[in-house]
Amino acid sequence: MIVFMTDWGNSHYVGMCKGVIRGISDTEIVDLTHNVTPYNVREAMHILGRSIDWFPEKTIFLTVVDYGVGTARRAIAIETEKFHFVGPDNGIFTLVLERYQPKNIIDLTNKKYHVGTSKTFHGRDIFAPAAAYIAKGVFNELGTRLPNYATLPYRKATIIQNTVYGEIAYFDRFGNIETNIPFSWIENKESVKLKIGNKTLQIPVVETYADVDEGELLIHEDSTGYLEIALNKGMAREKLRVSEGSEVEIVF
């Protein structure tokens, strides 16, 4: 199958790309999300990183969050032992390629496998057909081989004695603060000291949002195994006034 992720929202751009894919291949297309914050490659990087293992082997991830469309940034397809990835070479695949080492990276330069010449819609003209052709077994013919790919710097989660360091990965639509810290590092703790932005707070560690009073902050395990900072029936993002990529420090 092809798993499709963009920052295009409820747009006809999504449908056009699906039309291109189905004109080449009858493979199944699954929408991961099209609601990535516009231009936010960091957010897309984290969402992709915690989503891929819910899909079967041989899945092709078509991921287009591309603020540099039409510039000198490369358009790439990547083969790994388990999956394929197609998208702009802007760091969006940083996390997934730390886990699944690339076997082959292709610069999508072969115009035989493009469907148009737009300078600003490579999603339709280059990336969508590339994903469709990969589903049909075409890969090396899509362009020229590359020795490397772009990466996006980020603060890796670490634990030193009784302190955990990480970063805000992204915010979900409920304003919950998704971190890149494995929840297993603090499980069985009743509460922890959270240092985030210019604030230091003692916050309970619970199982569900309703385990604290309405309007109270909490920490729990999100659905993908990471530490989430939330506000029961509210938006932790607004209460704490923090931004993506900011450092998170947990002391227990």
* Helix (H), strand (E) at residue 249: strand 247-251
| Residues in the chain, pLDDT under 50 | none
**Cβ–Cβ < 8 Å for 72, 123:** no
Q: Which residue spans of the chain are classified as CATH 3.40.50.10790?
A: 2-146
- With a CB cutoff of 8 Å and minimum separation 6, the contacts of 10 are 34
**Cβ–Cβ < 8 Å for 213, 234:** no
For residues 11 and 3, what is the distance between their CA atoms, to the nearest angstrom?
A: 17
For residues 97 and 148, what is the distance between their CA atoms, to the nearest angstrom?
A: 11
pLDDT for position 197 = 87
SS3 223: coil
pLDDT for position 87 = 98
pLDDT for position 74 = 97
- With a CB cutoff of 8 Å and minimum separation 6, the contacts of 66 are 73, 87, 88, 90, 122, 123
SS3 content of the chain, % helix, strand, coil (to 5): 25, 35, 40
- Which CATH architecture does the domain made up of 2-146 adopt? 3-Layer(aba) Sandwich (3.40)
Q: Which CATH class is domain 158-251?
A: mainly beta
- Name residue 88's beta-bridge partners: 75
Residue type, 116: G
For residues 80 and 104, what is the distance between their CA atoms, to the nearest angstrom?
A: 7
Angle at Cα 231 formed by Cα 40 and Cα 195, nearest 5°?
75
pLDDT for position 79 = 98
SS3 84: strand
Q: Which residue spans of the chain are classified as CATH 2.40.30.90?
A: 158-251
Question: Taking the complete model, does pTM exceed 0.75, yes or no?
Answer: yes
